[in-house]
Amino acid sequence: MRHATVLRTGLSALLLLGAWAAAGPSSASAAPSDSARAPASAALLTAMQRDLGLSEGQARARLADEKAATALEPKAQRAAGSAYGGSWFDAKSGKLIVAVTNAEKAEAVRAAGAGARLVENSAERLDAAKARIDALPAPAGVSSWHVDPASSSVIVNVVASERRDNDVRSFVAKAREAGPVTVKTTAEAPQTFAAGTVGGDPYYTGNVRCSIGFSVHGGFVTAGHCGGAGQSVRGWDGSAIGHFQGSSFPGNDYAWVNVANGWWTVPVVLGWGTVSDQLVRGSNEAPIGASICRSGSTTRWHCGRVLAKNETVNYSQGAVHQMTKTSVCAEGGDSGGSFISGDQAQGVTSGGWGNCSGGGETWYQPVNEILNRYGLTLHTA
């Protein structure tokens, strides 16, 4: 495979040859020093302006605020102690907001540098309620459910056209017995974003096209529904890349593929030849409310916000747990692709509803869970 061919096509954010081969390894969760951080790429700023309605200056300011909030979150959670009720990034104030169940801990959180909001339920109680709901069989008309720290409840999303269905109503009633629940409606049921084979795409498994997520040392991570363990993977030119070394779906939606046959890995998410590339420098988890962007083989770069974490998504193939929901759009073939916040890897695209013409929502499987599950190390710049 010639270097020029791969660089010219800009096909894979993770399989470029030559230019990034010298980049050294680092810990999957290691935070880069400020001096190591490159300025925000043109690709990221352009996508944030387009999808979030920001000016370039506002986009840069938001990235700086989100970086500070991400760094502050562990300290603020420790300050809240057992009164911790969850946290999120508030774009209007540019601050991390922490939910707490008593006023004394609210003052401790403020002293740590975050905003505080008094709520009724602790994160521990809400997580326990969600775990009980996870044990319930969910009908197709129930889209997903997650803990929402702002409302201090478990949000259960039902498909609007199915909200009067007897099975849906029965599920909601049992969910309410499990703990504090708020019911919301969504336009469509979620589905995975795999697609049939078409030309010029990152990788193929059988007749399925998916997108590469992030480079790890020895391969890349992607979505589990794209292929099972042992299945072979072909590149954009039809040549062999490697095989699925591990895969889990449903229950989870993650997998990893080894890289061989002249391919190797790089710490880059590409803009598909139309926007600048984005270096990957770590995998610090962005808070709820933070901006986030996605790169996929079908719809390229799109941005939005983190809407919820630890959401259970009820696909037709079965429920998938511990997902993160975003306002970013996606379409068929984007499955497995990169979700990134600033220069920090966040996860791999799983599924959602809608499209990039009319909008929608997309879930991703957090990347740190994948790295920990398979003992992988993220390839960083």
Catalytic residues: 225, 253, 335
CA 119 from chain centre, in angstroms, equals 27
Q: Measure the CA dihedral 229/9/267/88, to 10°.
A: -90
Give CA–CA dist 184/153, Å, rounded: 12
Whether residue 156 contacts residue 184, with contact meaning beta carbons closer than 8 Å, is answered with yes
CB contact set of 231 (below 8 Å; sequence gap of 6+): 205, 206, 243, 244, 247
Give CA–CA dist 146/308, Å, rounded: 7
Q: What are phi and psi of 18, to 5 degrees?
A: 90, -70
Q: What are phi and psi of 106, to 5 degrees?
A: -60, -40
Instruction: Output 1-4 pairs: Cβ under 8 A, ≥24 positions apart.
Output: 1/235, 1/237, 1/239, 1/262, 1/263
Structure tokens at 192: 């995975």
Residue 158 burial (CB < 10 Å; 0-12/13-18/19+)?
A: buried
Structure tokens at 87: 């946290």
Whether residue 152 contacts residue 85, with contact meaning beta carbons closer than 8 Å, is answered with yes
How many Cβ atoms sit within 10 Å of the Cβ of residue 46? 19
Three-class DSSP category at 207: coil
Q: Which of 166, 104, 109 is nearest to 140 (CA)?
A: 166
Per DSSP, what are the bridge partners of residue 303?
Answer: 293
Residue 55 burial (CB < 10 Å; 0-12/13-18/19+)?
A: exposed
| H/E element, 78 | helix 56-80
Helix axes 56-80, 103-112, angle to 10 degrees: 130
Give CA–CA dist 7/5, Å, rounded: 6
Q: Which of 83, 344, 100, 120 is nearest to 214 (CA)?
A: 344
